[in-house]
Amino acid sequence: MPSRSFAVLAALAGLVSMAVLVTVPSLQCLACETSLGAPDEQIERVFRDWASTFYWGAYAELLAVFLFTWFLAHLVGELRRVAPGQVYATVALLGGGLFAAGVLVQLALTLAATTVAEGSGATVAHLVLAVAYNFAFVYAAPVAALVMATSLAVVRTRWLPRPLGWAGFVAVVVALAWITPGIGAVAGMVWIAALSVCLAVRAVRPSGQRQAAVDAVVME
């Protein structure tokens, strides 16, 4: 079992990473309000004006992926402990891994956006703009998989507050609905932030209480 301090830090890493991954793309989307049909000069000007924001956003997202990796490892370890022999940990690992890979793709496009200010031209600007409009769709499925697996474990084992699990089911439905995948992905990320807080609170509890809780849910 990981030390209490490591468990708390790993759990809170999820909160920080979700805060960054929701905030940074939202700020960058302010630059994407330009229509795809706007003149090339207008689109290039927007990207030149926001070049520093894209650059620092890419660095922030890189750090967020690092933190999310630690959080995911901690979450998978907890799922294996409270639900041994189940597929929850594997699904959460795959969903989280695909989500992190999607963030890295977005990071690459964010860096590509900074080259517009250096003269890469309207083609790159149009590509980044087109992807930015719809990139939350990419997150919906892996985020939903991670949330669903963890929510099932929460509801079945009562390892964390059950209302968190029920809320996760709602986030999954919203994420996979055709008309709301972008909103649902954000809702799922907010749910992951809430999960990280619950994990941190649980980790703060005395180790004896934590082990007793784990033994109780495993025996049920």
Q: What is the 3-class SS of 25-64, one letter each residue? A: HHHHHHHHHCCCCCCHHHHHHHHHHCHHHHHHHHHHHHHH
């189940």: which residue's tokens?
86
Which residue has better confidence, 96 or 176?
96
Instruction: Give 178's DSSP letter.
Output: T
- Structural tokens at position 166: 């029920």
What span, in angstroms and rounded, lies between the C-alpha atoms of 17 and 106?
15
Residue-averaged pLDDT of the chain: 82
Residue 211 has pLDDT above 60, yes or no: no
pLDDT at residue 91 in the model: 96
Q: Side chain identity at 136, as an amino acid letter?
A: A
| Residue 119 backbone phi and psi in degrees, to 5 | 100, 20
- Structural tokens at position 91: 């699904």
Residue 207 has pLDDT above 70, yes or no: no
Indicate the pTM of the whole model: 0.83
pLDDT average, residue stretch 203-214: 58
Q: Side chain identity at 84, as an amino acid letter?
A: P
What span, in angstroms and rounded, lies between the C-alpha atoms of 77 and 114?
38
| Residue 100 backbone phi and psi in degrees, to 5 | -65, -40
Q: What's the Cα-to-Cα distance from 143 to each of 41, 118, 219, rounded to whole Å?
A: 37, 35, 29
Residue 150 pLDDT class (50, 70, 90 cuts)? very high
pLDDT at residue 212 in the model: 45
Contact (Cβ atoms closer than 8 angstroms) between residue 138 and residue 186: no
- Structural tokens at position 59: 């660095």
Domain layout of the chain by residue ranges: 4-205
């090339």: which residue's tokens?
40
Count of other CB atoms within 10 angstroms of residue 1: 12
Which residue has better confidence, 206 or 58?
58
Alpha-helix runs per DSSP H in the chain: 4-29, 40-49, 51-82, 88-114, 122-134, 136-157, 162-176, 181-204, 207-219
pLDDT average, residue stretch 157-175: 92
